[in-house]
Amino acid sequence: MKFNKIVYSLATLSLLSNTGFAQQQSENLPPNATLQQLIDYALRNQISIKQAELDESIGEKDIDISLSGWYPQLGLTGNFNHNVKLPTMFFNGANIPMGTKNSSALTLQADQQILNPALMQAKKGAELVRLSNKQNTESQKINAVVEVSKAYYDILTSEEQIKIVRENIARLQKQLKDAKSQYDVGLVDKTDYKRAQIALANSNADEKRTVELRKYKYEYMKQLLALDKTQNLTLSFNNMNMEGQVLLDTTAGMNITNRIEFQQLQTSKKIQELNTQYYKWTYLPNVSIFYNYAFNYRNNSFGKLYNDNIPSSVAGLNLSLPIFQGFKRKHQINKSKLQEERIDWDIKNLENTVNTEYSLAKATYNANLSDWKTAQENVELSKEVYETIKLQYDEGIKTYLDLMTAENDLKITQFNYLNALYALLASKLDVQKAVGAIQTN
Give pLDDT tens digits for 379-435. 999 999 999 998 998 888 888 888 889 999 999 999 999 999 999 999 999 999 999
pLDDT value of position 22: 41
Contacts of 82 (CB under 8 A, 6+ apart): 101, 102, 302
* Structure confidence at residue 15 as a pLDDT band (50, 70, 90): very low
Query: Which tens digit of pLDDT belongs to each residue from 350-384?
Result: 999 999 999 999 999 999 999 999 999 999 999 99
Secondary-structure breakdown of the chain: helix, strand, coil percentages, each rounded to the nearest 5: 65, 15, 20
Phi and psi at residue 237, to the nearest 5°:
-120, 15
Instruction: Give the separation between CA 106 and CA 309, rounded to whole angstroms.
Output: 10
> 4 pLDDT exceeds 50?
no
Instruction: Give the separation between CA 348 and CA 351, rounded to whole angstroms.
Output: 5
Instruction: Determine the average pLDDT of the residues in 117-137.
Output: 96
Q: Which amino acid is at 439?
A: Q
Instruction: Give the separation between CA 416 and CA 375, rounded to whole angstroms.
Output: 6
Phi and psi at residue 438, to the nearest 5°:
-75, 125
Contacts of 385 (CB under 8 A, 6+ apart): 406, 409, 410
> 185 pLDDT exceeds 80?
no
> 20 pLDDT exceeds 50?
no
* Structure confidence at residue 285 as a pLDDT band (50, 70, 90): very high
Query: Which tens digit of pLDDT belongs to each residue from 157-182?
Result: 999 999 999 999 998 898 888 888 87
Q: Which CATH architecture has domain 28-71+116-285+326-434?
A: Up-down Bundle (1.20)
C-beta of residue 352 within 8 angstroms of C-beta of residue 259: no
Domain boundaries, the chain: 28-71+116-285+326-434, 76-111+287-320
* Structure confidence at residue 11 as a pLDDT band (50, 70, 90): very low
- Closest of 63, 66, 70 to residue 133, by C-alpha: 63
Distances, alpha carbon 303 to alpha carbons 112, 273, 386, in Å: 38, 62, 112
Mean pLDDT lowest among 43-57, 267-281, 397-411: 397-411
Query: Which tens digit of pLDDT belongs to each residue from 336-349?
Result: 999 999 999 999 99
Q: Which amino acid is at 73?
A: Q
Percent of the chain clearing pLDDT 90 (strictly above): 68
Instruction: Give the separation between CA 163 and CA 135, rounded to whole angstroms.
Output: 42
C-beta of residue 31 within 8 angstroms of C-beta of residue 234: yes
pTM of the model: 0.83
Mean pLDDT lowest among 112-126, 208-222, 389-403: 389-403
> 1 pLDDT exceeds 60?
no
